[in-house]
Amino acid sequence: MTKLSAEKEAIKAVNTYIKGLNDKDPEKLANSLHFPHIRSMKDGTFFEWHSPEAYMKAFKDRLKSSGWDHTKLINTSTEKLSASKVHVSIEFGRYTKSGTLIDNYKSLYVVINEQGYWGIKFGSGTG
């Protein structure tokens, strides 16, 4: 088995995270996030979640009024900070079930290798 670079592992974690959101699957989130998981929102508010289920519930509650159904990655870029830490900048779109674009957003994820897997520990973004 070929070992992936830190950057590729970080992108893989981000892709698993997006798939977990789209599938509304806390187990996939558990394989792509580290807990406690911290986010800084657009207005500077910080949130902390201690489980994939709590994260998924808060995510769905926050986006309920928007009609969100799924998210699509538009662009990703990485900056390797160490063998176990990568910053991943992403641009993504959120869509309704019918495929109507809600809006595009940007986020920066701090992805780390901890507890034997790569996952997002912290995020800061516009969405």
Q: Tens digits of per-residue pLDDT, 27-72?
A: 898 999 999 999 999 999 999 999 999 998 998 898 888 999 999 9
- Whole-angstrom distance, CA of residue 47 vs CA of residue 54: 11
State yes or no: pLDDT of 98 exceeds 60.
yes
* Per-residue pLDDT reduced to its tens digit, 6-28: 999 999 999 999 999 999 998 89
Instruction: Report in angstroms the alpha-carbon separations of 49 from 6, 33, 60, 102.
Output: 25, 10, 14, 25
> Which CATH class, in words, describes the domain spanning 6-125?
alpha beta
Which residue, chain included where needed, has tokens 């779109």? Answer: 93
* Residue 89 burial (C-beta neighbours within 10 Å; 0-12, 13-18, 19+): middle
Q: How is 36-99 classified by DSSP, letter by letter?
A: EEEEE-TTS-EEEESSHHHHHHHHHHHHGGGTEEEEEEEEEEEEEEETTEEEEEEEEEEEETT-
